[in-house]
Structure 1
Amino acid sequence: MAAVAALVAPSPSARATAETAIGRAVTGAAAAVPATIPLTVTNDSRRTEPVYLYNLGTELSTGRQGWADAAGAFHPWPAGGPVPVPAPDASIPGPAAGRSLTLRMPRFSGRVYFSYGKKLVFQVATGGLVQPAVQNPSDPNRDILFNWSEYTLDGGGLWINSTQVDMFSAPYAVGVKRPDGAVATTGHLKPGGYRGFFDALRAQPGGWAGLIRTRSDGTPLRALAPGHGIEAGALPRDAMAGYVDRVWARYAGTTLTVTPFADRPSLAYHGRVSGDTMNFTDASGAVVTSFRKPDSDSVFGCHKLLDAPNDQVRGPISRTLCAGYNRSTLLTNPRQPDTSPAGFYQDAVTNHYSRAVHAQMADGKAYGFAFDDVGAQESLVHEGDPRQAFLTLDPLD
């Protein structure tokens, strides 16, 4: 991969959030959502380095990509060429330790980045913005401590998350104030949760410690999500193979029933394995979609052989399978989705990264993989009439 490689598309959790938000009908009441809302960033990190903030995304009214300044004004990215060039400096000086700063969030589908000590490097190319890709050892941001939240603000309100789909790094929480003054929050770690997460990966056999990235002084900066770990050669490519093999063997002789919509319990699809294919049939017995036996990367990334198009059949089935594989519930429950967290991650072969993330969250919620929203396990808050948003930078302890 090249040094500033690949234009980085929004992560799956960003896409899911945006699709959910954009797909909602804009009612008369929802249309009252203002053009911008305040975002208060509070620095509870106890770190002394300067903080830099970035609000990057797609302007929903025009489809243009760009950035917002502290007042919420939109600035489009300049046209790029085949060779990436430096992007305009979109950084906003963040609050010092123990202080807060309030920005304006425009109607975007995008990300709020924050970094400690150094500004992030962004570039523009023919396809748009080149964002950090920390799985790339040559990425110019690899030694910077940073993270991001994903959000969509549109006529249906605000959706904002705390995501670990791509990496686990500098901790933070998000929140939104409702019209009655109540604040819904998610993303806080338990006390000691930052160290606890890295300790769990180090103690996990099978190469999971290889996901951890440290600075030259030994400071742990992040852990790559397992799909990125496979891409970077940091996690064995067969990390999930044993589980997938057992799933394949079981459903060659029995039926896996998927009911992908909680509000439509009578709509079910039935999966059986034949050779290297799992076929799903509807109530009439007609095959509606098929999946080849997935490799570990497909499982962790919920893509490739587990692709999930934004349709009403294959995508919802794939989302359910993805959750079942990552949580290792497909062998213990032939009726999916399994929405009981007590049964998640109990197999020796599982997504130990996501298991460790959820174990350290104060409310148990996280985006440990792309479709962690199956069964409502995601770290996401939504309000149709948002009065204010919050981003809290938490300590690394």
Structure 2
Amino acid sequence: MPKLRLTLAAAPAAVALLAGLCAAEGTADAAVPATIPLTVTNNSGRSGPVYIYDIGTDLASGKQGYADASGAFHAWPAGGNPPTPAPDAAITGPAPGQSTTLRLPKFSGRVYFSYGQKLVFKLTTGGLVQPAVQNPSDPNHDILFNWSEYTLNDAGLWINSTQVDMFSAPYAVGVKRADGTTATTGHLKPGGYQGVLNTLRNQSGGWGGLIQTRSDGTVLRALAPGHGIEAGALPASAMDDYVNRVWQKYSSSTLTVTPFADQPSTKYFGRVSGNVMNFTDSSGAVVTSFQKPDSDSIFGCYKLLDAPNDLVRGPISRTLCAGYNRTTLLTNPNQPDGDAGAFYQDGVTNRYAAAIHSEMADAKAYAFAFDDVGNHESLVHDDSPQGASLTLDPFN
């Protein structure tokens, strides 16, 4: 079953095309209707309008576009160069203390929500330009907004909260099951929103620079560290000391990666030689190699830690990415490490991810692209969903 790990990190600096959204192929083994209800509840405590957008890839046609409040799909028209304005896809959201219900179609995409003003979407010849707020000239930079990610297909619904690109307006997601129960994730602890921001502000090493504030004093978001490096808000050397120590350790010892929980006999063995970490299989044959990663590769789980959709390099890379971000590679030579209490304990670590996980009510989050290694991600799923929910939570 697909798990969502959508990120702008691998896209060009100011542009992410909707084609980058994951498109899950369903199997017709469950009677999932063409649309299901999504109830959006505004518990934010903020005054002013809320706007909602359902944007993604229509799984029936493979086309990119948006859905209206009834769940009807509208394909994007052709874009241009320079980009042209996209059709207004905004759905009026609920007033404070109220709820609005719309319909989710069989899509792989995002549900955006914004406070106070509409988001700006444009179309290029290659597709939709999504917000890239690490770029100070992005037209959405000064808008308070966030998004959830979902796939609805014949096999069910997967919906998650995400902080892969930024930590911003708090919200939670849920899925209503056939037995009437609801599974939810994404709620912060009481005071958790300010808790994350305060932790970053009080952390040495430039982490407070991730926080972006509007001219009126409104905190808009904290950038994910990879975007912080791109924007010059976080030192590019943030993880270098840890990487150097990992490199030293595995120059004389072996890192064992068991990437599949249901295949404990499938193991790969990593050793450092010069600027390369080589992985061998049980026969001793080299199956893949990784250059010494930089901080951006670690935070984005890409570039020198690229994870193709295969059965060898990709699974090893995602395990390494989790180990680097959680800084468990020095304390445990057997990865992935399943002990959440051991995560983020090194003096050099992903402080952004650590702060978010510590303030989540269920400790689950998508604070980096492969935060689902070991099932620590903020995702809910049901193969026969009766409905979904998006709750806009308080900021205090």
Q: TM-score range by the shorter chain?
A: over 0.9
Structure-2 residue corresponding to 1:8: 16
Matched, 1:216 2:180: no
SS at match of 2:316: helix
Matched with 1:344 is: 343
Shift of 1:82: 1.8
Residue of structure 1 in register with 2:314 after alignment = 315
* Paired residue type of 2:160: N
Structure 2 CA distance for aligned equivalents of residues 262 and 128 of structure 1: 37
1:373 pairs with 2:375: no
Q: Is the 8 A contact 1:186 1:363 kept in 2?
A: yes
Counterpart of 2:114 in structure 1: which amino acid?
A: S
CA distance in 1, matches of 2:17, 2:203: 30
2:280 corresponds in structure 1 to 281
Check whether the contact 1:42–1:391 (CA below 8 A) recurs between aligned residues: yes
Matched, 1:196 2:195: yes
1:173 equivalenced with 2:159 (yes/no): no
What does 1:9-28 correspond to in 2, within 5 Å?
9=17, 15=22, 18=23, 21-22=24-25, 26-28=27-29
Q: Does 1:243 align with 2:247?
A: no
Change (3 A) 1:116 1:330: same
Aligned residue for 2:131, secondary structure, equals coil
In 2: Cα distance, 1:149 partner to 1:370 partner: 14
Query: In the aligned structure 1, how far is the partner of 2:198 from the partner of 2:178?
Result: 41
**8 Å Cα contact 1:44/1:97 also seen in 2:** yes
CA distance in 2, matches of 1:122, 1:50: 18
Equivalent in the alignment of 2:331 = 332
Name the structure 2 match of 1:111: 110
Shift of 1:6: 4.1
* Separation (CA, whole Å) in 1 of partners of 2:216 and 2:376: 35
1:45 maps onto 2:38 in alignment: no
1 CA distance for matches of 2:100 and 2:265?
49
Write the letter of the residue equivalent to 1:350.
Answer: T
> Would the aligned equivalents of 1:173 and 1:391 in 2 still touch at CA under 8 Å?
yes
Q: Is the 8 A contact 2:70 2:102 kept in 1?
A: yes
Map of 2:388 onto structure 1: 389
TM-score of the two chains, using structure 2 as the length reference: 0.95
Provide Cα deviations, 1:17-44, integer angstroms capped at 9, x if missing partner.
x5xx43x6x143x2x1111000000000
**Secondary structure, aligned partner of 1:222:** strand
Amino acid at match of 1:8: A
1:9 CA displacement: 4.0
Q: Which runs of 4+ in 1 moved over 3 A?
A: 4-7, 9-12
Name the aligned partner's letter for residue 7 of structure 1: V
Query: Structure 1: which amino acid aligns with 2:278?
Result: N
Tell me the SS of whatever aligns to 1:305. Answer: helix
Note the C-alpha offset of 1:7. Answer: 3.2
Name the SS of the counterpart of 1:37 in structure 2.
strand
- The one-letter amino acid of 1:144's match is I
SS at the partner of 1:41?
strand
Superimposed CA distance per residue, residues 95-140 of structure 1 (whole angstroms, 9 cap, x where no aligned partner): 0000000000000000000000000000001110001100000011
Partner of 2:271, secondary structure, is strand
Query: Quick check: 1:11–1:166 contact (8 Å CA) kept in 2?
Result: no
In the alignment, the residues of structure 1 paired with residue 269 and residue 13 of structure 2 have an alpha-carbon distance, to the nearest angstrom, of 41
1:321-353: CA deviations, max 9, x gaps?
000000000000000000110000000100000
Amino acid at match of 1:178: R
2:141 matched residue in structure 1: 142
- In 2, Cα distance between equivalents of 1:286 and 1:218: 57
Per-residue CA deviations over 1:272-295 (Å, capped at 9, x if unaligned) read 000000000001000000000000
Structure 2 residue aligned with 1:302: 301
2:54 matched residue in structure 1:
55
Structure 1 distance, partners of 2:295, 2:346, is 15
Q: TM-score with structure 1 length normalisation? A: 0.95
Q: Does 1:72 align with 2:71?
A: yes
Task: Give 3-state SS (helix, strand or coil) of 1:365's partner.
Answer: coil
Give me the whole-angstrom Cα distance separating, in 2, the residues matched to 1:297 and 1:9.
20
Partner of 2:91: 92
Deviation string, structure 1 residues 137-194 (Cα, Å, up to 9, x no partner)? 0011111100000000001100000000000000000000000000000000000011
> SS where residue 230 of structure 1 aligns?
helix
Equivalent-residue separation in structure 2 for 1:269 and 1:11 (angstroms)? 32
* Conservation of the 8 A alpha-carbon contact between 1:173 and 1:394: yes
Q: Secondary structure at the match of 1:270?
A: strand
Residues 341-380 of structure 1: per-residue CA shift (max 9 Å, x gap): 0000000100000000001100000001000000100000
Q: 1:218 to 1:225 in 2, by over 3 A?
A: same
2:302 partner letter: H
Q: Any conservation in 2 of the 1:11–1:165 contact (CA below 8 Å)?
A: no
Q: May I ask how many residue pairs the two structures share in their alignment?
A: 385
Cα deviation per residue 1:37-60 (whole Å; 9 max; x = unaligned)?
000000000111100000000001
Q: Report the CA distance between 1:81 and its aligned residue.
A: 1.6
Deviation at 1:5, TM superposition (A): 6.6
Alignment CA distance shift 1:257-1:5 (3 Å)? closer
- State the SS of the aligned residue for 2:163: coil
Q: Distance in 2 between matches of 1:59 and 1:307?
A: 27
Describe the SS at the equivalent of 2:320.
helix
Q: One-letter code of the match for 1:211?
A: L
